[in-house]
Amino acid sequence: MPILYLNGRRLRSAILAGAQRVLEYQEQLNQINVFPVPDGDTGTNMAVTMKFAAEGVLNQPSNRMASVCASLRESVLNGARGNSGAILAQFFQALAGHLAKGTKITAQILSEGIQVAVSKATKAISEPKEGTILTVMRRWADYWNNAVKQHQCLARLLAGSLDEAKQALNRTKEQMPILAERNVVDAGAQGFVAILEGIHHFTETGRVTWQSIEERALPDSLETPNLLDIPITFSFCTEAGIRGSNLDPNTIRNLLVGMGDSLIVAGEGDFIKVHIHTDEPQAVFARLSQFGNLERTKAEDMKAQYAQRLSEAQTGQIALVVDSSCDLPTELLLKHQVRVVPVQVTVDQVSYLDRIEITPEMVYRMMAEGKQPKTSQPAPGAFLNAIRQAAQHHEKVLVMTLSGALSGTYQAACAAAEEFPDRIEVFDSHSAAGGLGILVQVAIQALESGADLDTVLTKLNQARANCHLLVSLKTIDYAKKSGRIAWYKAGLAKFLGLVPILSVEKGLIVPSAVARKGPANLAKLVQIARSRMQGNIVNHMIISHAQAPEQAQWVADQLQDQCSEPISILAVSPTVGVHVGPGTVALAFLSEAQ
């Protein structure tokens, strides 16, 4: 049956499918990243950008095209990372702006929007080059412009344009000498083709799938290139968002010309995202600040990243796999190529993949409608797929899960690991949410220092004994419904007008104290935390919340003086949110004796 129009619901699914495909491709894209600099993060940057886009459209409850497009425009620009991510953001910003004018978008209107989007993406770059993502975008857009005159089926046009994009992708290594020398295609262009593949797969099957990359054929070009002697002209990959009024991208671009290369200015109006490679990031920020308030500034040392990449290429690697109950910033997980296996959330007999097909906002919206979501361990093949993929590229694999006493996730991981008995280690965190996140950070730091698997496990066992997870509930109702608190204890607490402070001890949930609802409960949480921290070093702290950002920030303000590092404040995963309910604040920290 031909697909003759695009509506808001289909656009949302297309973005999800494209984002998922890039997430699957992330590591391969990083491996072939040699242009504009070989810092090995093109896949990560594109994955972060598309994950922000996907979460934005997922959290939009309306299926109206204008609403979905508005969410896409905002989220993709906020999430834009790196050179290719900034180009993608400008492309989707322009495309969504064009599509928002209609309700049922025909092939002709979509083709016109694609032309506009590619044109604006090209103009966002100060010095566009052939053999990059822009080349593939342009060839893809030209196909639409010509083919739409012959037929109007979107699925047919997408299939034909995907073939054209793949041909253009294969020619990128002929158009740019550095790609020809390393015999690879452009990583950004490959990432764009991956997005198209994901959307095409959705149009054929009607599903946004989560699966291992190895289950699909990879192009021969996805091989690790020779990284030696690739010059890096400027040291810092520098980014900033500018919040202001009537921002003119051309004025901003002209002000930065001569300060570096790979300059991209994306967006317009009240928010613009800037990307540039420079030796003077602070000077760039100073110039940009005259246009408005700066947000999400970043200056990464690309030469250091390159040196680390060379070191990693010369030594054996250990891959990390976690389940989706782990609370850590998305960028950190993607940067360190931590594979996340989604727990399943079921609502009205419909199953969703945690953090992929459902977000915290969706869970709480369903709860407000009187629905009771439930969770279940990952599907049997999910861990196996992740482990197989990791084992394909690494000597050892360390799988870290939420407490085995709280979920069957640990057992599912152990069963999957049996296929590789000498290469896979499964570690029970005895925790969840931020507690699991902190232990993952410990593992990441150990691996970055060159530790072998036995040393990492020793450090994890030491950290697990000193990792604390405290939970302040707004109401006891959700924990009672999920069975996390016995009904008679819940009933007594509710009768007395009290809410418990929960703690995870050796993998089990136990009440640590009780207090009145609201500020008194959070104050008690802080009091317990300070008593456990007294005289100890606190290097890691994560505060997770369920629709309670102000309360989480208050807890962070009370405890910042106790922690030697910035405190991460994150939305708790849907997996955990189902059991604790809106208004919950969870505090995790690692407290070790001096």
The pLDDT tens digits of the residues spanning 471-509 come to 998 877 666 555 555 443 444 445 445 678 889 998 988
Query: Can you tell me the mean pLDDT for 436-463?
Result: 94
> Tokens at residue 20, please?
């998922």
Question: 220 lies in a domain?
Answer: no
With 70 as the cut, is the pLDDT of residue 71 above it? yes
Residue type, 287: R
On whether both 395 and 290 belong to a single domain, the answer is: no
Give the pLDDT band of residue 114 (cuts 50, 70, 90): very high
DSSP state of 517: S
Question: 473 lies in a domain?
Answer: yes
**Helical axes 154-175 vs 107-123, angle rounded to 10°:** 30
DSSP state of 322: E
With 90 as the cut, is the pLDDT of residue 428 above it? yes
With 50 as the cut, is the pLDDT of residue 72 above it? yes
560: CATH: 3.30.1180.10
Give the pLDDT band of residue 373 (cuts 50, 70, 90): confident
Q: Quickly count: other Cβ atoms within 10 Å of residue 369's Cβ.
A: 8
On whether both 266 and 158 belong to a single domain, the answer is: no
Residues 12-52 have pLDDT tens digits of: 999 999 999 998 888 889 888 888 877 778 888 899 899 99
According to the model, what pLDDT value does residue 212 have?
42
On whether both 282 and 333 belong to a single domain, the answer is: no
282: CATH: 3.30.70
Share of the chain above pLDDT 70, in %: 90
On whether both 26 and 53 belong to a single domain, the answer is: yes
Domain boundary among 465, 480, 515: 465
Residues 277-296 have pLDDT tens digits of: 998 888 899 899 999 999 88
pTM here is 0.76
Q: How far apart are CA 432 and CA 533, in angstroms?
A: 20
On whether both 70 and 203 belong to a single domain, the answer is: yes
3-state SS assignment for residue 424: strand
Question: 221 lies in a domain?
Answer: no
Q: Which residues contact 418 (CB under 8 A, 6 or more apart)?
A: none
Question: 45 lies in a domain?
Answer: yes
On whether both 246 and 328 belong to a single domain, the answer is: no
With 90 as the cut, is the pLDDT of residue 128 above it? no
The answer to whether the bond into 500 is cis (omega within 30° of 0) is no
On whether both 483 and 526 belong to a single domain, the answer is: yes
Under a CB-based contact definition with an 8 Å cutoff, are residues 501 and 524 in contact?
yes
- Structural domain span for residue 509: 467-593
Residue type, 504: V
Bridge-based pairing of strands 318-323 and 396-401 is: parallel
Query: Can you tell me the mean pLDDT for 113-138?
Result: 93
On whether both 378 and 438 belong to a single domain, the answer is: yes
Domain boundary among 300, 333, 356: 300
On whether both 476 and 583 belong to a single domain, the answer is: yes
On whether both 319 and 360 belong to a single domain, the answer is: yes
With 60 as the cut, is the pLDDT of residue 216 above it? no
On whether both 144 and 103 belong to a single domain, the answer is: yes
The structural domain count of the chain equals 4
CA angle 327, 329, 331 (to 5 degrees): 145
Question: 430 lies in a domain?
Answer: yes
Rg (CA), the chain: 24
Strands in 536-545's sheet, in edge-to-edge order, are 508-516, 498-505, 467-472, 585-593, 536-545, 568-571
Q: How far apart are CA 162 and CA 412, in angstroms?
A: 37
Residue with tokens 């930065």: 256
Domain boundary among 465, 497, 525: 465
Q: How far apart are CA 329 and CA 461, in angstroms?
A: 23
Residue type, 53: A
On whether both 276 and 185 belong to a single domain, the answer is: no
DSSP state of 290: G
**CA-based nearest residue to 576, from 348, 324, 371, 396:** 324
19: CATH: 1.25.40.340
